[in-house]
C-alpha cells in the first residue's frame, strides 16, 4: 500500500473510532441492530475516498453479524465492515484501533461458519477476509503450490476445497483435513481442524510450516517453529485472540487417486470404540493397526429424520430399511464406523492391495455381520462428501436454520460411560424426536497434538475421543429445547466426573473460559500471550474471552 493511501485509510478509521465511542448503549437501538451512523460522518468518510473499503449500511453489517449457528446471543452488531484489498489494510485498521484512546473491536470473518457469534465485533469492525482473494491476480495470487518445496502457500481467506484442487493439479495433497472443506484456512487453524485423518497426522494445526500474522498491535509478522515461535504457537488454535492469519504454508505429500469408502454398523458402543482404537493404534501391531487411512464413527438413532440421515444416500432403499430395522432391534441406537482406504496415485499401491486390506478388515472387525457397505469414489470426492449433504439440506430448506451444536473432547476411559448416559439416555428421552442431526464419535492419538499451541485437549490419556452432537432446530421450539439438552449433557458430565473439553467452545464470560476450559496453568499462558500480542483486547471479542484491555 502506498503511503498516501495508508494515511487516507488511517484518517478514515480515526473518524470511525470516534464514532464507535459514541455508539448508543445496549439498551437502545444499537443492541437491536437498527443503529446507523450520522449522515455527516458518512459524508466525511466518503469524502476521504474509502467508500469501497468500509461499509456502514444495514445490509453489510447484518450480513457480518450472521453466522452458521444462527443462534442469537444478543451481542450488538458491528458498526462497520472492512473489505481489505491486501493485508496492509487490516494492519492499518488494527493500528488505528490500538493507538486510539478507546480501542474498538476488530474480528476477522471468513465464511461465517461460527456457531455462537464468535466472529462478531460488537460495535466494532468486522474484516471480510474473503475480500482479500477477490483482489489477487497474477504474481499476487493468494494460493500457490511449490512442487519442489512440497508445500502450498494459502491466504487465510482461501477455502480448503480450493487448496485441495490446487494441490491435486500437481498430484499433491495436504496430510489432514476437516470434514467440511468449504471453510477458510485461517478459520480452521484458529481452532484446530480435525477429521478422520487426525489419528495419524494430527489436526491441521500440527501440519503448518509457517504463518503470516497481523497481531493486535497491527504488526505483520512471519512466524514458524524456528522464528517467532511463541506467536506461531499462540495463533494456532488461538481462537483469533492473538492475530489475523493472512497466509499459511501447508506441507504436501503425494496424493492418492481413489478412496475405498467403508461403513460398518455396530449394535453397541463397546465393539465400535474397541475397533476404532485398534485401527488408530498404528504402532500396536494388531492385524488391523493402521490399515485405514481415515477413521471416524457416528451414532445412528432410529428416529433421526432427514436432517440426521442426510448421509443415507450411501445406501439403497432396501439397505436403509434393513439398517432402520436393526436400529429398532438394538433399542433405537446403532453405531457406525466410517472409514476409507486410499489407493492409486504415483506413490500408493493399486486396487489389488486395497482389496487385501479390506478383506482383513471385514474379517477382523466386530461389526454386525451383513451390515458392511462399501463404495469406491475419487479421493477428492470422498474428502468433499459433506458438500453433497449440504446441497440436499439446502434444497429442502433445512440448512439455514439454528444449529445449537455441542462438540466435546473426552478421555477414552470414560467414553462408554458417556455413551450410556447421553446416547442411550439423554438423547433418547426427548419425546422420540431424536437428535435432529449427525452425532459423531471417534478417537484420536494425543501424541499427534502439539501442547505448545493454544488448543486445549485432554492430556491425561494416550487416546481421547471427539463427540460432535450437530443438531438443527428445524421446528418452532426446537432451539430452546436443544440448548437445554446441551446444558443437561454438560451437567451429566460434571456430575458423573467425566472430564470434558469443548471443541469450537462457547462460554458466556471470562470465568467460564478460565475455570472450565483452560484451567489455571493454560489460562496463565493464554493471558500472557494476550498481553504480549493484543494487550488492548481488540481481536475477536465475540468469543467473550477478553472484552476490555488488559492491565
Element (H, E) at 356: helix 351-364
Residue 5 has pLDDT above 90, yes or no: no
Other C-beta atoms lying within 10 Å of the C-beta of residue 187 = 26
Tally of structural domains, the chain: 3
Residue 467, sorted as left (phi over 0), alpha (psi -120 to 50) or beta, turns out to be beta
Burial of 175 (0-12, 13-18, 19+ CB in 10 A): middle
Residue at 409 is within a domain: no
The confidence score (pLDDT) of residue 19 equals 52
Listed residues 199, 226, 255: the one ending a domain:
255
Q: What is the pLDDT of residue 316?
A: 86
Q: Would you state the pLDDT for residue 39?
A: 35
All three cell numbers of 473, joined, read 432446530
- pLDDT of 313 reads 63
Task: For residue 66, give the CATH number of its domain.
Answer: 3.30.43.10
- Both 386 and 269 in one domain: the answer is yes
266 band by pLDDT with thresholds 50, 70 and 90: very high
Please report whether residue 519 resides in a domain.
no
Specify the CATH number for the domain of residue 329: 3.40.462.10
Question: Residues 120, 204: one domain?
Answer: no
Residue 326, classed as helix, strand or coil, is: helix
Helix, strand, coil in percent for the chain, rounding step 5: 40, 20, 40
Q: Are residues 66 and 107 in the same domain?
A: yes
What is the four-CA torsion angle of 133, 450, 194, 165, rounded to 10 degrees? 40
H or E element: which one contains 268?
Answer: none
- CA 74/CA 437 separation, integer angstroms: 25
What is the arithmetic mean of pLDDT over 58-67? 94
Cβ neighbours of residue 234 under 8 Å, at least 6 residues apart? 241, 242, 243, 453, 454, 529, 533
Is the residue at 482 inside a domain?
A: no
pLDDT at 269: 98
Which tens digits make up the pLDDT trace of 89-148?
999 999 989 988 889 999 999 999 999 999 999 999 999 999 998 865 544 489 999 999
% of the chain at pLDDT higher than 70 = 86
Catalytic residues: 113, 179, 296
Please tell me whether residues 310 and 390 are part of one structural domain.
yes
Residue 407 lies in a domain: no
pLDDT at residue 44 greater than cutoff 50: no
Query: What confidence tier does 1 reach under pLDDT thresholds 50, 70, 90?
Result: low
Q: Please report the pLDDT score of residue 302 as a whole number.
A: 74
Same domain assignment for residues 120 and 211: no
**Is the separation of the CB atoms in 128 and 64 below 8 Å?**
yes
- Establish if 534 belongs to a structural domain: no
Asked if residue 310 and residue 355 are part of one domain, the reply reads yes
3-state class (DSSP) for residue 401: coil
User: Is 388 inside a domain boundary?
Assistant: yes
Q: Is the predicted pLDDT of residue 265 greater than 70, yes or no?
A: yes
Final residue in a domain of this structure, among 214, 234, 255: 255
Cα(380)–Cα(443) distance, integer angstroms: 23
pLDDT in tens, 212-253: 999 999 999 999 999 999 999 999 999 999 999 999 999 999
Q: Per residue in 395-452, pLDDT tens?
A: 989 899 999 999 999 999 999 999 999 999 999 886 545 557 899 999 999 999 999 9
**Would you state the pLDDT for residue 370?**
97
Can you give the pTM of this predicted structure?
A: 0.91
Average pLDDT over residues 182-210: 98
Same domain assignment for residues 223 and 200: yes
Residue 227 lies in a domain: yes
What would the pLDDT profile of 476-532 be if each residue is shown by its tens digit? 889 999 999 999 999 999 999 999 999 999 999 999 999 999 999 999 999 999 999
**Phi, psi (degrees; rounded to nearest 5) at 101:** -65, -25
Q: What confidence score (pLDDT) does residue 513 get?
A: 97
Residue in the structure block whose three cell numbers are 497466509: 247
φ and ψ at residue 67, rounded to 5 degrees: -150, 175
Please state, in angstroms and as integers, the Cα–Cα distance from residue 126 to each residue in 60, 247, 386, 403, following that order: 10, 19, 28, 22
Domain extent at residue 196: 138-255
User: Residue 75: its pLDDT value, please?
Assistant: 81
Are 227 and 112 part of one and the same domain? no
The set of cell numbers assigned to 446 is 494425543
Task: Quickly state the pLDDT bin for 50 (edges 50, 70, 90).
Answer: very low
332: left (phi over 0), alpha (psi -120 to 50) or beta: left
Annotate 406-471 with three-state secondary structure.
EEEEEEHHHHHHHHHHHHCCHHHCCCCCCCCCCEEEEEEEHHHCCCCCCCCCCCCCCEEEEEEECC
- Classify the C-alpha dihedral 69-75-78-84 as positive or negative: negative
Using DSSP's 3-state secondary structure scheme, residue 294 falls into strand
pLDDT in the model for residue 315: 84
User: Of 75, 106, 133, at which residue does a domain stop?
Assistant: 133
Check whether residue 107 and residue 148 sit in a common domain. Answer: no
Query: Is residue 543 situated within a structural domain?
Result: no
Answer yes or no: do 144 and 232 share one domain. Answer: yes
How large is the average pLDDT for residues 376-394? 93
What is residue 350's predicted lDDT score, i.e. its pLDDT?
82
Cα(238)–Cα(81) distance, rounded to whole angstroms? 23
Residues 183 and 65 in one domain: no
- What is the structure's pLDDT at 436? 75
- Say if residue 390 is in the same domain as residue 287: yes
Any idea what the CATH number is for the domain that residue 236 is in?
3.30.465.10
CA distance 528 to 505: 20
Out of 51-55, 331-335, 466-470, which region has the weakest mean confidence (pLDDT)?
Answer: 51-55
Reported as a single tens digit per residue, the pLDDT across 274-328 is 999 999 998 888 999 999 999 999 999 876 654 445 454 678 889 988 998 999 9
Amino acid at each position: 500500500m502506498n503511503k498516501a493511501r495508508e494515511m487516507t485509510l488511517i484518517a478514515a478509521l480515526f473518524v470511525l473510532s470516534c464514532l464507535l465511542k459514541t455508539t448508543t448503549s445496549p439498551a437502545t437501538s444499537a443492541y437491536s441492530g437498527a443503529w446507523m451512523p450520522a449522515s455527516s460522518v458518512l459524508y466525511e468518510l466518503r469524502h476521504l475516498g474509502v467508500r469501497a473499503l468500509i461499509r456502514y449500511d444495514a445490509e453489510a453489517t447484518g450480513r457480518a453479524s450472521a453466522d452458521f449457528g444462527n443462534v442469537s446471543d444478543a451481542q450488538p452488531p458491528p458498526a462497520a465492515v472492512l473489505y481489505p484489498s491486501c493485508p496492509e489494510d487490516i494492519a492499518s485498521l488494527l493500528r488505528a484501533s490500538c493507538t486510539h484512546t478507546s480501542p474498538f473491536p476488530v474480528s476477522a470473518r471468513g465464511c461465517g461458519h461460527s456457531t455462537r457469534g464468535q466472529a462478531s465485533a460488537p460495535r466494532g469492525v468486522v474484516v471480510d477476509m474473503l475480500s482479500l482473494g477477490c483482489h489477487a491476480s497474477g504474481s499476487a495470487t493468494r494460493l500457490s503450490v511449490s512442487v519442489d518445496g512440497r508445500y502450498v502457500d494459502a491466504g487465510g481467506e482461501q477455502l480448503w476445497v480450493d487448496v485441495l484442487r490446487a494441490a491435486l493439479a500437481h498430484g499433491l495433497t495436504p496430510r489432514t483435513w476437516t470434514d467440511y472443506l468449504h471453510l477458510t484456512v485461517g478459520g480452521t487453524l484458529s481452532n484446530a481442524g480435525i477429521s478422520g485423518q487426525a489419528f495419524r497426522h494430527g489436526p491441521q494445526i500440527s501440519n503448518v510450516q509457517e504463518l503470516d500474522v497481523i497481531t493486535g498491535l497491527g504488526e505483520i509478522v512471519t512466524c514458524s517453529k524456528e522464528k517467532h515461535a511463541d506467536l506461531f504457537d499462540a495463533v494456532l488454535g488461538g481462537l483469533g485472540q492473538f492475530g489475523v492469519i493472512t497466509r499459511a504454508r501447508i506441507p504436501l505429500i503425494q496424493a492418492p487417486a481413489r478412496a475405498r469408502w467403508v461403513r460398518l454398523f455396530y449394535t453397541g458402543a463397546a465393539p465400535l470404540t474397541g475397533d476404532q482404537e485398534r485401527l488408530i493404534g498404528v504402532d500396536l501391531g494388531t492385524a488391523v493397526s493402521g490399515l485405514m487411512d481415515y477413521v471416524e464413527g457416528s451414532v445412528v438413532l432410529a428416529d433421526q429424520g432427514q436432517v440426521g440421515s442426510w448421509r443415507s444416500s450411501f445406501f439403497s432403499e432396501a439397505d436403509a430399511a434393513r439398517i432402520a430395522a436393526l436400529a429398532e432391534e438394538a433399542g433405537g441406537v446403532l453405531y457406525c464406523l466410517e472409514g476409507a482406504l486410499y489407493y492409486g496415485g504415483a506413490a500408493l499401491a493399486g486396487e489389488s492391495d486395497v482389496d487385501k486390506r479390506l478383506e482383513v478388515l471385514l474379517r477382523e472387525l466386530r461389526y454386525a455381520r451383513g451390515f458392511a457397505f462399501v463404495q469406491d469414489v475419487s479421493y477428492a470426492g470422498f474428502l468433499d462428501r459433506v458438500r453433497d449433504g449440504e446441497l440436499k439440506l439446502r434444497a429442502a430448506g433445512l440448512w439455514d436454520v439454528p444449529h445449537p451444536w455441542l462438540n466435546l473432547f473426552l478421555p477414552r476411559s470414560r467414553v462408554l460411560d458417556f455413551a450410556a448416559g447421553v446416547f442411550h439416555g439423554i438423547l433418547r428421552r426427548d419425546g422420540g424426536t431424536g437428535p435432529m442431526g449427525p452425532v459423531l464419535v471417534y478417537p484420536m492419538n494425543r501424541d499427534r497434538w502439539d501442547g505448545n499451541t493454544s488448543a486445549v485437549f485432554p492430556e491425561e490419556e494416550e487416546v481421547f475421543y471427539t463427540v460432535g452432537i450437530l443438531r438443527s432446530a428445524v421446528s418452532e421450539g426446537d432451539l430452546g429445547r436443544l440448548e437445554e439438552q446441551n446444558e443437561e449433557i454438560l451437567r451429566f458430565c460434571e456430575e458423573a466426573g467425566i472430564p470434558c473439553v469443548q471443541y469450537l467452545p462457547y462460554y458466556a464470560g471470562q470465568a467460564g473460559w478460565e475455570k472450565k476450559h483452560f484451567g489455571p496453568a493454560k489460562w496463565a499462558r493464554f493471558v500472557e500471550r494476550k498481553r504480549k500480542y493484543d494487550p488492548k483486547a481488540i481481536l475477536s471479542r465475540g468469543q467473550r474471552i477478553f472484552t476490555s484491555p488488559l492491565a
